[in-house]
Structure 1
Amino acid sequence: MTKTIAVAMGGYSSEADISIKSGEVVYQHLSSVSNYIVYRAHILKNNWFVKLDSGEEIPIDKSDFSVSINGQSIFFDCVFNTIHGSPGEDGLFQGYLQTLKIPQTACDYYQAALTFNKRDCISVLKAHGIKTAKNVYVNKGDDIDPEKIVNLVGLPCFVKANRAGSSYGISKVKKVEDIMSALEHSFKEDEEVIIESFLDGTEVSVGVINFDGEAKALPVTEIISENEFFDFEAKYLGKSQEITPANLSKEQTEEVQNLAVKIFKLLKLKGLTRSEFIFHNDQPHFLECNACPGLTEASLLPQQAKAAGISLQRLFSYAVEVAIDNFEG
């Protein structure tokens, strides 16, 4: 039976261009599935449209997420969600599609909002005994005492926008007098900031996906940044080494994979996800979880799928089938 799929890409944040790159990769691979008719759905702050191969942009009717092409109304059996940032990673888009009873490939709206909010996600996982960095929360407009912050988390430390991805709004701070400028940098992305202690150790990334009826951990990637940390340049401009599988012992690999699966289940996630950890004092410490991770050919999760022997066509089409089969409208 033919299925009509929309690959949603773009979003309202600084990550829109990266999301479109992910969406294009998904579009190309899903388009080769024989029983799929696939469309690119650009979800931008001021415009929602389907972009045809000709370049023509067809407005999306937000009342039912449909488009009219050559006088024919097109409705979608499933949406493949590749939107990084708001509204596709913070739950807004998921909630919208849920009300329209349209399946989508990412986690549900509450889980998306939780994982997108680093502070809330860490707080939940800490309650389950999962190790994290020491952290301090700051909101725009708060009275800020840099000395007090440093006394709590130490130096160096990381100042991060709470609800942002792709390393936007993040700084590594080595001197107390740089705290305020780092906060201003983060406040450009979000009014909430998280300040974390520096964890010295091996940084790794673990993809966890719904596959073959279970939560499956993919091979672990070790991240070695040429910069101070795994920032935008390291992620997207080749300023890092990404080693899959990671140079870990068998015991370390199993430990961090099991921890990633535990987090996937605790948070009731779905679809394709990726969690980041640092082995600090030989123990994995949780950094963050990406519920809509990058899916370009060079992104970490596709690298891990390849190492596991899973083609991108199979990875993406399986995500669609799971979303449709498990949808509870």
Structure 2
Amino acid sequence: MSKKNIALLAGGYTGEYEVSINSAKNIAANLDADKYNVYTILINRDRWFYQADGELVDIDKNDFSLMLNGIKIKFDSVFITVHGTPGEDGKLQGYLDLIGLPYNTCDATTSAITMNKAYTKVLVHGIRNLNAAKSVKLLKNDLHDVSSIAATLNFPLFVKPNNGGSSVGMSKVHSVAELPAALEKAFHEDSQILVEEFIKGREFSRGIARLHGKLVVLPATEIISSKEFFDYEAKYTPGVSQEITPAHLTNEQNQIISDILTEIYIRLNCRGMVRIDFILQEDTGDFYFIEVNTTPGQSANSLIPQQVRAAGMDVKNFYGDIIEASSIGY
């Protein structure tokens, strides 16, 4: 059996560039070398390139190919692990669709929609047992009356970029006086922002993937942050937050959560692996939706690899199954 050529796409145009590089290193280390020739392609605003023996070789964007030692390398499949734009918001997916190359993530439409937190909340509205925090979406060019925001929503509030990833530009505010600075911080990251009520409770993240044609919900991870919320520092600084995988949940809670996640995945027409973040509200235990991540982090200690191991699955087989699924379009 001939080996498949896999383009492992990493980097991107955001502050999550290094996170993406770490994801790519772990994926490359866990792809079966007997089945796949893996080429890590780095992308930034200036160029898309492959590093070969210290030399940078540019990708031919006409057909996404690579010329190495006089030989043209074409790819059987693309594994996108670019967090943020252009890998998580549908731009790369649209390009790959145009040239007819299969890839591992959701399609362009789903990727673009799930990157927009406000749109996603509208689409998942009405799913049984699913709640969403009350929120207001603001556009950068509009006038922002903090008093009317304060009158509409109950403090404390979360202010966050509508299209951001990894909690960059996010703030928790407790009073009207803190709103202007929080709005400015979020607008620095995005032209649309979301102001939403804070839901007090336990925070979780849980992967779901289509493997061998069947939807598999991975064990949940509970995130306990020593900071006020799970921000960029808490996500990527060792020791700032504690991650418990598998999370301590009752059988009933596990079943309800699995059903909700499955419905979200189907309703949004997801593909490959996604990670869904949510809160179980204190006192009520109600499920509150946070967001869908369509290119979740894949470094060795990231949540999806943790959850795959907790499920008793082999990470190498898991990534292989994701690639094989991408080749047949689900």
Asked whether the two chains share a fold, i.e. TM above 0.5, the reply is: yes
Q: What CA deviation, in whole Å up to 9, does each residue of 1:234-290 have, x standing for no partner?
A: 111121111011111111121112211110111010111000110112111100000
Structure 2 Cα separation of the partners of residues 56 and 133 of structure 1: 50
Per-residue Cα deviation, 1:207-247 (whole angstroms, up to 9, x for no partner): 00111321110001111001010111211112111101111
Q: Is the 8 A contact 1:33 1:313 kept in 2?
A: no
Counterpart residue number, 1:285: 288
Give 1:154's aligned residue: 154
Measured after TM superposition, the shift of residue 142 of structure 1 is 1.3
Match of 2:97 in 1: 98
Matched, 1:264 2:265: yes
Contact 2:111 2:294 in 1 (8 A): yes
Number of equivalent positions? 325
Partner of 1:78: 77
Quick one: distance in 2 between partners of 1:55 and 1:288?
39
Give how far 1:115 is off: 0.5
Q: Please identify, of 168-177 and 147-156, the stretch whose mean Cα deviation from structure 2 is larger.
A: 147-156
Residue in 2 that maps onto 1:29:
30
The answer as to 2:227 corresponding to 1:227 is: yes
1:146 aligned partner, one-letter code: V
In structure 1, distance between residues paired with 2:274 and 2:68: 33
1:272 aligned partner, one-letter code: M
Q: Secondary structure at the match of 1:131?
A: strand
Q: Secondary structure at the match of 2:196?
A: strand
Q: Could you say which residue in structure 2 is the equivalent of 1:276?
A: 277
> How far, CA to CA, are the matches of 2:223 and 2:288 in structure 1?
15
Give the Cα–Cα distance (whole angstroms) in 2 for the partners of residues 232 and 39 of structure 1.
Answer: 29
Residue in 2 that maps onto 1:176:
176
Q: Distance in 1 between matches of 2:290 and 2:117?
A: 9
Cα 1:128–1:258 change in 2 (3 A) is closer
SS in 2 for 1:76: coil
The match for 1:186 is 186
Higher mean Cα deviation, 297-306 or 55-64?
A: 55-64
- Shift, 1:174, TM fit: 1.2
Q: What are the residue-to-residue correspondences of 1:3-82 with 2, within 5 Å?
A: 3-30=4-31, 32-52=32-52, 54-82=53-81
State the superposition RMSD in angstroms. Answer: 1.2
For the residues of structure 2 that align with 1:34 and 1:292, how far apart are their CA atoms?
A: 25
Name the stretch that deviates more: 35-44 or 119-128: 119-128
Query: Does the 8 Å CA contact 2:114/2:120 hold for their aligned counterparts?
Result: yes
Q: Partner of 2:30: helix, strand, or coil? A: helix
Q: For 1:310, which of 308, 313, 327 is the aligned residue?
A: 313
1-structure distance, mates of 2:99, 2:278: 36
CA contact (8 A) 1:90 1:109 kept: yes
C-alpha contact 2:212 2:325 (8 A) present in aligned 1: no
Contact kept in structure 1, 2:127 and 2:260, CA below 8 Å: no
Partner of 2:119: 120
Provide the C-alpha distance between the structure 2 equivalents of 1:172 and 1:232, rounded to a whole number of angstroms.
13
Q: CA deviation at 1:127?
A: 4.4
Amino acid at match of 1:253: N
In 2, are the aligned partners of 1:11 and 1:43 still within 8 Å (CA)? yes
The one-letter code matched in structure 1 to 2:248 is N
The AA in structure 2 aligned to 1:163 is N
Cα distance in structure 2, aligned partners of 1:301 and 1:128: 24
Distance 2:244 2:29 in 1: 26
- For 1:17, what is the secondary structure of its paired residue? helix
Which residue pairs with 2:216 in the alignment?
216
Unaligned runs of 5+ in 2: none
Aligned counterparts, 1:240-255, within 5 A:
240-255=241-256
How far apart are the structure 2 equivalents of 1:212 and 1:225? 35
Structure 1 residue identity aligned to 2:42 = H
What letter matches 1:173 in structure 2? V
In 2, Cα distance between the equivalents of 1:107 and 1:326? Answer: 10
Q: Normalising by the residue count of structure 1, what TM-score does the alignment of the two structures yield?
A: 0.96
1:206–1:257 Cα contact (<8 Å) kept: no
Aligned amino acid, residue 326 of structure 1: G
The answer as to 2:114 corresponding to 1:111 is no
3-state SS of 2:138 partner? strand
**Greater mean alpha carbon deviation, residues 12-21 or residues 68-77:** 12-21
Residues 156-189 of structure 1: per-residue CA shift (max 9 Å, x gap): 1100001110111111111211111111111111
